[in-house]
Amino acid sequence: MLQLDGTGPLHQQIYRAFRNEILSGVLAPGERVPSTRALADLLKVSRNTAVSAYEQLLAEGYLETRLGAAGTVVAPVLPPERLALRPSASPGLQRPRPGALARDSRSRERES
């Protein structure tokens, strides 16, 4: 049974719970996961919430769909952990301040 952490929107809680179980080995590669309908019924959430969580897991490579009766399974090869990190969490990468690029280009024009 998934343990939701109570932080943020439900689809993100479901995403994090699945991701944690996959990364910790509780859910093994190739293991089938419940359908979005079954998951929604189990967690007492809307199906759209379950679909949203699965879409993120599929997009990031933690789950994959198989044709026929196999349904959705844990991906046999997991993505590198760094794919889940946001760029702002990486040392050395900083987002430019709003307008900083425009100010820099104007400065260079005046210097020319």
CATH: 3.40.50.970, 1.10.10.10, 3.10.450.50, 3.40.50.920. Which one for 10-79? 1.10.10.10
Give the angle 70-74-78 at the CA atoms, nearest 5°.
140
- CA 3/CA 82 separation, integer angstroms: 23
pLDDT at 73 over 60: yes
What ranges do the domains of the chain cover?
A: 10-79
Q: Supply the pLDDT for residue 78.
A: 83
Q: List the beta bridge partners of residue 73.
A: 32, 64
The pLDDT value given to residue 98? 44
Tell me the average pLDDT of the chain: 79
pLDDT in the model for residue 81: 61
Residue with the bigger pLDDT between 53 and 69: it is 53
- Amino acid identity at 69: A
